[in-house]
Structure 1
Amino acid sequence: MNDAEIRLALINWLKQKKIPPQKILNEITISDGLARPDLIAIYSYSHCYEIKGDNDQIQRIVKQFIHYQSSFKKNTLVTTQKHLKKALKLLPDFWGIIVAIIENETIKFKYVRKSSHNPFYRKDVASKILWKTEMQQLLENKDISFRSNSTRNDLIDLINTSYTSYELDQSICLSLLNRKVS
């Protein structure tokens, strides 16, 4: 099974869950372009899904997961039986792991462990998901003034001091729900 096959099946599976995501985004750039998770599911919180198919190198998750866990409230690796043993060794316990298996020529998903609270969420890193105009809107929503020539980093600093972790994740989710992408 490759990434593309798993991705399509995963999107369909997530949409059919008892509580489906409000929106699923593909490969949104995060951490100033340093990472790009396969899927971001927007619930009442942000949830990153990274896919590692049979042909992928599971070791790459080590470089990626630092960015993901800094940016999202929950994180889950979706992988195959081939990579499961290694994934269990590489990922912290709060990461979810789902294994993709083929049953009757259909890809099915089984939880190995569900994701839990991510203790490494960072407001400054999570803010980088937002476009500059979205950052400005967050500040305007709280009546926080900023200069028109403020840089993204200036805006991130203001957001960091003005929003709680919970408020920021909620606001990022709302921004992503309203984002128009072609």
Structure 2
Amino acid sequence: MNDPEIRALLYPLLTEGVYIDELPTGTTRADVVHITPQFMHGYEVKGDGDTLLRVAKQLPCYTRAYDFVTFVVTEKHLPKLLPLLPEWVGILVASPEGLRPHRPASYNATVERAAVAGLLRLSEVKAYLFDRGLHHVGLLRRRDLSHLLATAHSIPLSGLAQFVRDRLMARLPQRLQARAERKAERQQRPARARKRSRKPTVKRKRAAVTSPRK
């Protein structure tokens, strides 16, 4: 099974809130993120044609940002994947018959403020902090802001996470509209391309190289 086939099985299970495809998360992108008013659940999809080489880089990014993490994989990946994941990470096994739970995801107690804030635009995070009395954040870069969040214990994780969830859910209609516009553009490109007159390809013959007569 490939990635689109597995996602088609996963989407109907995400009934509450919204889900976002390819959400930038740290130094990677989460395949699907299910966002509700109460939690964020990151899903990583591995089809038959995928490898597990990037799991070591993906998992720490998801661990810092999401309340729950689940890998959705085909049967062929299961034996090699199990040693790579802590027990609290959930696993769903995909087959043409559907998704079979191998183990459920447990609550992740290692979420970090900086990673959660990193899911939003820098301007949004600054506005949130400014409203809470941190008026000096206006000129900070992303790296400096992340350091501040890592040490600013006066900013509760629960409040920040709620703000991030609300902003991401509110942004979904914009994402869907932009996605529809990109799809419409792609569908129009072949039609325009067919209308263009094609110039005949001219093949140049190489001049024959002859040895000078002696």
Does the pair score TM above 0.5?
yes
- Structure 1 unaligned spans of 5+: none
* CA positional deviation for 1:82: 1.0
Q: Rg bigger for which structure? A: 2
Aligned residue type for 1:5: E
TM, length-normalised to structure 1: 0.85
- 2:76 and 2:136 mapped to 1: Cα distance? 51
Choose 130-139 or 142-151, whichever is displaced more. 142-151
- 2:79 and 2:121 mapped to 1: Cα distance? 38
* CA positional deviation for 1:11: 1.1
Hey, what does 1:5 align to over in structure 2?
Answer: 5
1:125-179 alpha-carbon deviations (Å, 9 max, x no partner)? 2221110121023214424323532222343344441422222222211121122
Alignment of 1:88-107 (within 5 A): 88-103=82-97
Q: Does 1:49 align with 2:43?
A: yes
The alignment of Structure 1 onto Structure 2 pairs a total of residues equal to: 171
- 2:119 and 2:59 mapped to 1: Cα distance? 15
Give the secondary-structure state (helix, strand or coil) at the position aligned to 1:36: strand
- 1:42 and 1:8 mapped to 2: Cα distance? 18
Evaluate the alpha carbon distance shift between residue 87 and residue 149 of structure 1 in structure 2; reply closer, same or farther with a 3 A threshold: same
Hey, what does 2:30 align to over in structure 1?
Answer: 37
Choose 84-93 or 157-166, whichever is displaced more. 157-166
Aligned residue type for 1:2: N
- 1:98 and 1:147 mapped to 2: Cα distance? 41
TM, length-normalised to structure 2: 0.73
Evaluate the alpha carbon distance shift between residue 167 and residue 147 of structure 1 in structure 2; reply closer, same or farther with a 3 A threshold: closer
Aligned match for 2:66, one of 61, 68, 72: 72
Conserved in 2, the CA contact under 8 Å of 1:139 and 1:159? no
* CA positional deviation for 1:86: 1.6
Choose 165-174 or 69-78, whichever is displaced more. 165-174
Hey, what does 2:107 align to over in structure 1?
Answer: 117
